[in-house]
Amino acid sequence: MFVAAAGAYVHVVTRLLQGGLLSVLGSLAMMMWLSMTPHSPETEKKRLAILSAFAFLTGVGLGPAMDYVISINPSIIVTAFLCTSVIFLCFTLSALYAQRRSYLFLGGTLMSGLSILLLVSMVNMFLGSVALFKALCGSLSGLCDHLQKAHDPAGYEREG
């Protein structure tokens, strides 16, 4: 994350590497090179360098978006960076200290479903579709049912 931030800094401050097609192609090349490099103790430092180059070029590619955000309000960048860091830390700690790993997989599925429902709900605010609203309510009740059965594993056997 810090290497990508350095790439964005290079774009915003020095203007040496302008974000554009070249940085996108460089990022894709680094990603392909990383995927083709075998994972072994001998190639560990090489793979780390390739990953760092990928992150740097990705940061350079984010430069134009950073310029736009800076023109609106520069504090947005710091807030987004800190929020992303806190969320990453929380997910890391939850993965390290979870008693039952199966709840992590369940939570990922449920949160993905809820995120999709939230996005569709926001779209429906502009569309005003009654059928879409009913589908959202049905999907939400299905997710709630899935969550209830996950906390009561015997619930799956009773229905079947």
The Cα 136–Cα 116 span in angstroms is 10
* Low-confidence spans in the chain with pLDDT less than 70: 17-19, 102-103, 150-160
Counting every residue written for the chain, the total comes to: 160
Q: What is the pLDDT of residue 157?
A: 53
Give the pLDDT confidence score for residue 48 in this predicted structure.
94
How much is the pLDDT for 15? 73
pLDDT tens by residue, 36-61: 999 988 999 999 999 999 999 998 88
- What is the predicted pLDDT for the residue at 154? 62
Contact 57, 27 (CB under 8 A): yes
* pLDDT for res 19: 63
Q: Could you give the CA distance from residue 44 to residue 34 in angstroms, rounded to a whole number?
A: 11
Q: What is the pTM of this model?
A: 0.60
Q: How far apart are CA 128 and CA 107, in angstroms?
A: 30
Helix (H) or strand (E) holding 91: helix 75-97
Cα-based distances in Å from 107 to 89, 98, 101, 118, 146: 17, 12, 10, 16, 11
Q: What are the C-alpha distances in Å from 25 to residues 19, 43, 92, 134?
A: 11, 23, 31, 44
pLDDT the model gives residue 156? 52
